[in-house]
Chains A and B, each alone.
Chain A
């Protein structure tokens, strides 16, 4: 009797706690957010059930649109710099000839062990000590500094998983080291590159505090805007969050489309 009962228990039931958690803390809040973005708040703080597009209208005011484009610009630029700086680093770290111990890889990860606010404040203090004017440049620097490891890590993982005999094979067939890189290493590391891009781009366009701290509150991005609006009007903040959700959703679809061709190879983070 007891045995039969057990056989009814399959592995999928183990997922129930997480599904419940997701429903309560992810799906439900998102629905509430959606609801809020189409409603107004009365002066006493309670929610009025009047359906309205006013929140979205506020967002599409020229100043907000400018902020949105600025955020996307910062996100794209940060991602690009991270890629340009991170790829050679990952390539170097994955080369057993130069990097014989895991210590170097750990060193690149080490900044992540420190709270990002502390890191950013320290960066700010450094810039002030060096008398660098705070502005767009310093914001981008702070972003790159914070998110570079997220670019290096997935690329490093994919490159180190590439079978070294493939490069020997390419050399054997007459490819110079440079050709072998372009024809073998680069295409096989693409899944890692795409992982890196999403892992940097997604958080950078929504990040807050870094822009405010490193620009002396001169430049504010969507993250800062939402942070501000949560106090002013929860409804506008909700609407803005949804806009970002859509932007990220679109970028994910684009990235995944490129990723599809390579799912069978490489070892991206997903």
Chain B
């Protein structure tokens, strides 16, 4: 029963669209009352995850637990969650009041009844049909109590107007109940007096508020918000961020919020879940995610950062940008390759010679609170945020507190790929035919090109049809402008700037990733060819059939 603490739990969720895996083994536990943000670039599976929680999509594998109960196959209308849609999805044929009242009118309540066998049982009925007691005053003034459906219940309400006239009116309790709830929801979103407006006549921000009111009026256990502020302008968005945050505190319900805007996520969330390629990369509080990113990707996505390649020669020492720095991290293997992240505001700019790395300021932009400066040092470019400006052209020295150097193990540092040999000099990689040099691929190999005879360890071998895992470094990948110039084509998916070079993530047409290290800046979505020189392939191992 340890599940009870969590209002929602995703267990080993996988979701495929045709062959494409959009959510990859997602595990997530969400505590009651939290404001959780799913953060990631478009196409990272965050919206799909949300839709699986709402019930619009079924996970291909895995389970969704709600309050400890498996709701994986429960249709959306039976789930106690409500969604605020990206494009609001307000009903155009209903006015503001009816839009908000929609959920209340659909609401089902559990009632006890006696079934045919005479046993007590519970069933779900429409709120409208819920049996309630109604006191009826007969002709002679005698009172009787009758059971009536909620929509037939009425009460007498006496009101006094300004002149002091007392009037008594018969009020339908069901209608009054709905009216009160709708009014309260409208008040929470700051749209009182808008009840009778046509939703099409409202501005984007107002429609957004109606959409929120429509969801919260049902008092769901979880409110799902799918990039609800995406269509608003910046000012409106910032205002709504704060309002949403205060609404969350007031209502005390769990919010699950989807966005690609890291600032939004940092502003509002209790917990941020960073997603990439359908995988959850890291979850934690905004402060944790910002200060202790687990991977270079997370660091790059959340806030600005300087990301560099480094090596750990020993504990508490790291080498990057050509010099050795002190740090606080321990437990790495000697000379392990790592990613280094330094936040721009963590640099200390000192006089030349008094820091660790000497460099020169090449640009400086005033950003309101701080100056954003660019410094070239040791051949690398660093971004520095500082409230004190160092003039362009000045020689400085950079220092960073050991605590502020974030070190993370590299996820990958070379492309290790499974290939199939097509002949003694060509191999197939994801459908592209590459030439390779057998004498560099294998140790102790000779190759007679004229007669196509390959000798490995003195033994004549034919490679055709055999499979192997080969390695080529990120720097071995050459990207060509024209996809026809290379055996394999791919799209640029993302890039990380490493001070001097870019690590580019390429996605081939059949959804495989290849990483490249290049000095040139490409754009996301660029179509490129992937070329690798024949002598760059290294054998990792042969795959025995």
Contacts and interface: CB of A to CB of B under 8 A. Distances in A.
B93 A171 contact: no
A172 B51 CA distance: 10
A99 interface: no
Interface stretch (B38-46, B79-87, B446-454): B79-87
Given A165-B87, A183-B102, A172 B77 contact: yes
Given A165-B85, A179-B106, A172 B54 contact: yes
Given A173-B103, A173-B218, A264 B200 contact: yes
What is the predominant secondary structure among interface residues of chain A facing chain B? Answer: helix
Contacts of A187: 93
Interface in A149-184: 163, 165-166, 168-177, 179-180, 183-184
Nearest to B80: A174
Given A169-B83, A264-B200, A174 B106 contact: yes
What is the predominant secondary structure among interface residues of chain B facing chain A? Answer: mixed
B536 interface: no
Contact of A168 (B89, B93, B102): B89
B458 interface: no
Contacts, number: 72
A37 B219 CA distance: 69
A265 interface: yes
B200 A165 contact: no
A172 B200 CA distance: 21
Given A172-B54, A174-B106, A166 B214 contact: no
Interface string B185-217: 000000000000010100000000000001100
Contacts of A171: 55-56, 75-77
**How extensive is the interface on chain A, given as a class?**
20 to 34
A262 interface: yes
Interface in A230-267: 262, 264-265
Contacts of B214: 173
Nearest to A173: B103
A68 interface: no
A220 B55 CA distance: 57
Interface in A195-246: none
For A166, A169, A183, the residue with the greatest tally of chain B CB atoms inside 10 Å of its CB is A169
B91 A184 contact: yes
B106 A166 contact: no
Contact of B77 (A166, A175, A262, A265): A175
B40 to A, nearest CB: 21
B78 to A, nearest CB: 8
Contact of A176 (B77, B83, B200): B77
A184 B91 CA distance: 7
B108 interface: yes
11 contacts: A168-B56, A168-B83, A169-B90, A171-B75, A172-B54, A172-B56, A172-B215, A173-B82, A176-B77, A183-B102, A184-B93
Top 10 A-B pairs, shortest CB-CB distance: A173-B103, A174-B106, A169-B89, A165-B89, A171-B76, A265-B92, A172-B83, A171-B77, A187-B93, A175-B106
Interface of B: 54-56, 75-78, 81-83, 85, 87, 89-93, 102-103, 106-108, 198, 200, 214-215, 218
Interface of A: 163, 165-166, 168-177, 179-180, 183-184, 187-188, 262, 264-265
